[in-house]
Amino acid sequence: MSRVTQSMRGECCEDEDQRDCLYRQLSKVGVEINPKKTRVWWNLGFDEVRAMELQLEEGELTPTGALAFRTGIYTGRSPNDRYIVERAPSAAQIAWGDVNRPISPETFEKLRHVIGMAAAEAANIFVFDGYAGARKDVSIRVRVIAERAIQHHFARNMFLSPECVGESLGSPSEWRPQLTIISFDSAHAQYQKLGLNSEAFIVFDMEQGLGLVGSTRYCGEIKKGVFSVANYLYPPMGILPMHCSATKGKDHPNDTVLFFGLSGTGKTTLSADPTRLLIGDDETAWDNSGVFNIEGGCYAKVIDLREESEPDIFRAIRTDALLENAVLDETGRPDLSDGSITQNIRCSYPLAHIPSHEPTKTGDHPHAIVFLACDVYGVLPPVAKLSESQAIFHFLCGYSSKMTGTERGVNEPTPTFSPCFGGAFMPRSPFVYAKLLRDKIREHSCAVYLVNTGWTGGSYGQGSRMSISVSRAIVRAIVTGELRRCQYRDPDDIFLLATPTHVGGVSHHILTPRNTWNCEWLYEATALKLRDQFLNHWSWLAESSPQDMEELGLGRVIRGD
């Protein structure tokens, strides 16, 4: 077993002093351990945690070696149950509102007590110590305390174990976490009395570096919780945290490209390219040395996944992977076409499961940036090149679609404006991130493109989803520099977007959205509807911070009459 456990039935720590030190550390965050009732497991290896998962009947092995499990009633994130403690000095830095809901320190302590009571009844508690951030000098020390082996396994997949950044952690007493997340789905609060939205709660105290996750065992809450705190910690350091994937060329180390987008819009799919090296598929940061992965693994949406269309991701569903909420057939094989549990079937796996991955999880400054706008209206072009002003406009708008099942209550593709293409995870004002992006685009002369991975030939329900082969051809043209050199049409008269006259491997017909609709007046009406939504969102941003808007000095980026 690991350094903390001798056997499945053994004591929790070979060294009594180390065990007592760990218990004291847990006690400081409200997790009291009764050694006669609870065993604590620390930094288990993959084989060890898999044995625990099977012993505790938390999941079952599939024929590929992946472990399948279910998350209960919560099969996606619960954004309406996410809170941040309103406490000085961080309170002055948080963009309070529908995304960042304030909660009092007193309520936080009551929820911590609820977590503590659940921990006191637990037969097993699992502790993972590791990092968020592959750049060692700016990585964040993370501790995840959970009641389920599955969550421990998930943390090991998604974050960086000490050895991944060249360290050897001899014992838990050596660890000084900057962020601790405690996740107990058996913790149930009297949410009405506490003024919460529902029985689930995801709460972060920036001053204490502490997060609480209760009443939900959806693993994505842990992942996005760490990301949210990174999004708070990094900007004052001049580091831009981004909801994006990143790849680099195999033969050209300075050939780095970023892909921004909401969950389910193509970040993971388009970055899993066998001709390139994957730096990371979802959460990336950009500092003075280049970009680095915040995570150590991938969390891919795999509904309807087929080997012939996405071979690398399909083959990643193997030993050490976790398959979440998939229906298994009578032979135990997952049926990824069956969304009867949820459309948000997910697979968590180490980055190394992708054959073409970058071992250092780092890359040079990007030469190209892609905004993936999954347009549910079907009126945006497959690709457009953006000016600097347009890039910041579309970054602040973050127009895309929430895809089915990614959040609680989202049952069909739904248009949304999510600033920074990740507004749900950004504690600070979107202008903080926009200014960092603008400065880095200028410094490194990045080309920026808007790519529609959504609908074409009509809106959702009438048109069709953009072919993955089309999106891949467009990305290939961006990566190779073809779209830097090609000819562009004059900007359209609604969105003022300049589209290329030719993209290798893409039909000329679909490059102009108007041409793909059977009814021109319906296209026009739908495009104007989306235009008005852009303008409404922009007005909201301008009213929220006129000084920031003036400082950015954006010109005319969309028709406003």
Please identify every residue annotated as catalytic. Answer: 77, 224, 243, 263, 267-268, 282, 346
Local structure of 515: helix, strand or coil = helix
Distances (CA, A) of 492 to 208, 499, 511: 50, 8, 12
CA-to-CA dists, residue 536 to 287, 405, 541, angstroms: 33, 26, 9
Amino acid at 363: G
Nearest to 406 by CA among 320, 361, 333, 343: 343
What is the DSSP-derived secondary structure letter of residue 66?
A: P
User: From CA 38, how far away is CA 184, in angstroms rounded?
Assistant: 14
Gap between the Cα atoms of 487 and 484, Å rounded: 9
Angle formed at CA 368 by CA 437 and CA 299, multiple of 5 degrees: 80
Whether the CB-CB separation of 260 and 380 falls below 8 Å is answered with no
Torsion angles phi and psi, residue 174, rounded to 5: -80, -10
Cβ–Cβ under 8 Å, residues 40 and 12 = yes
Q: How far apart are CA 412 and CA 376, in angstroms?
A: 10
CB 40 within 8 A of CB 4: yes
Nearest to 497 by CA among 560, 544, 435, 450: 450
CA distances from 220 to 92, 129, 159, 447, 467 (A): 27, 18, 12, 32, 28
CB < 8 Å & 24+ apart, contacts of 483-486:
483/383, 483/385, 483/447, 483/449, 484/447
Question: Burial of 361 by CB count in 10 Å (0-12 exposed, 13-18 middle, 19+ buried)?
Answer: buried
What is d(CA 486, CA 410) in angstroms, rounded to the nearest whole number? 39
Pick from 404, 401, 389: nearest CA to 552: 389
